[in-house]
Amino acid sequence: MSDPVVVALDVGGTGMKCALVRPDGAVHHEERHPTRAERGPQAVTETILTVAEGLAVRARADGLTPIATGIAVPGVVDELNGVAVWSANVGFRDVPLKELAEQRLDLPAALGHDVRVGALAEARLGAGRGRRHVLFVAIGTGIAGGLVIDGRGYPGAHGAAGELGHVVVRPGGAECGCGLRGCLEAEASAKSVGRKYAELSGEAGATAFDVATRAARGEELARQVWLDAVEALADGLLTAQALYDVGVVVLGGGLAEAGDDLLLPVRAAIAERVTFHRSPEIVRAELGDTAGCLGSALLALDSRSGKP
């Protein structure tokens, strides 16, 4: 058999990152496509299958053997049965993507949650390499986490584990999209940092990135908003640490682009708060927005080899 390769897709609300990935994580070929979610879940599903099929054809043309398909999607994902249960931004409602991909490509397939498979990739190929227990936290429009235990992702009983963004860190605080108040996501996501600063400064359209750079330059209001977010994040991470006792926390997503302007104060805020906890190392993600795609390939390889 010629060299094996996995067809890997990471489907987001706006775009799909797709690749042919070798079993060691090396990317043979990469392509991106718009999701165009406004067309509805049926059309998006058809695009996913067509793109996956095209990648398999490409693999064979390049003298490689496609051996599995891995697909990552956002929302609630039943990994065991391969069903995209629910997604706000793509519109999936109980779509059996694993089965559909297996029928279309005639290859074994695996379906995973975008952040949880991103965690898998960071734990094995990225910033968590060499560590047994890794918590990956993606901070962007929302906040989500993925726990990797001994190199395996933890999906939870209902495919909904890792919703760190909806841990309440400020009771009675800012309103969250989930209906609660004071969720970590409502206090420390890139979106909420930008919104809070815009409200207080009266400057519409200010982004979390603006806040980070202005805070670094010493602007008082920006510093305060940034510090509030950092402290909320530290409270959320400390709760996670009390539960999971991981060796390393990998921070990814848009807010982590702030680099040391985020990492240094988060490390300091955690150090201030720890009592009995063993402090995790806090590091920045290494794989950027390819983590989901690489992780879906890893998930496909794992399920193919019969690992849980």
Query: Shortest Cβ distance from residue 179 to Zn ion (Å)?
Result: 7
Cα-flanking dihedrals φ and ψ of residue 29, to 5°?
-155, 145
Q: Taking the complex as a whole, how short is the minimal distance between the CB of residue 236 and Zn ion, in angstroms?
A: 11
Output 122 or 185, the one with its CB closest to Zn ion. Answer: 185
**Is 88 a binder of Zn ion (CB under 5 A)?**
no
Contact (CB, 8 A) for 75 and 111: no
Stretch that binds Zn ion, among 24-32, 135-143, 165-173, 199-207 (CB under 5 A): 165-173
Q: Cβ of residue 36: shortest distance to Zn ion, in angstroms?
A: 28
Residue type, 190: A
- Shortest CB 208 distance to Zn ion, Å: 18
**Binding residues for Zn ion, total number by CB under 5 A:** 5
Query: Which one, 83 or 208, has the nearer CB to Zn ion?
Result: 208
Q: Which of 263, 187, 186, 195 is nearest to 228 (CA)?
A: 187
Beta strands 152-153 and 143-149 are antiparallel
Nearer to Zn ion, 51 or 174 (CB): 174
Query: How far is the C-alpha of 268 from the C-alpha of 249, rounded, in Å?
Result: 14
Closest separation in Å from C-beta 209 to Zn ion: 23
Residues 6+ apart with CB under 8 A from 119: 134, 135, 136, 145, 146, 147, 148, 153, 162, 250, 291, 295
- Pick the piece of the chain touching Zn ion (CB under 5 A) from 75-83, 88-96, 163-171, 192-200: 163-171
Closer residue to Zn ion (CB): 166 or 170: 166
Q: By three-state DSSP, how is residue 108 classified?
A: coil
Quote helix, strand, coil % in the chain, to nearest 5.
45, 25, 30
Comparison of 68 and 138: residue with beta carbon closer to Zn ion: 138
Q: How far is the CB of 182 from Zn ion (least distance, A)?
A: 8
166-205 binders of Zn ion (CB under 5 A): 166, 176, 178, 180, 183
Nearer to Zn ion by Cβ, of 10 and 231: the residue is 231
Nearest to 287 by CA among 72, 5, 46, 75: 72
Which spans of this chain sit near Zn ion (rule: CB under 5 A)?
A: 166, 176, 178, 180, 183
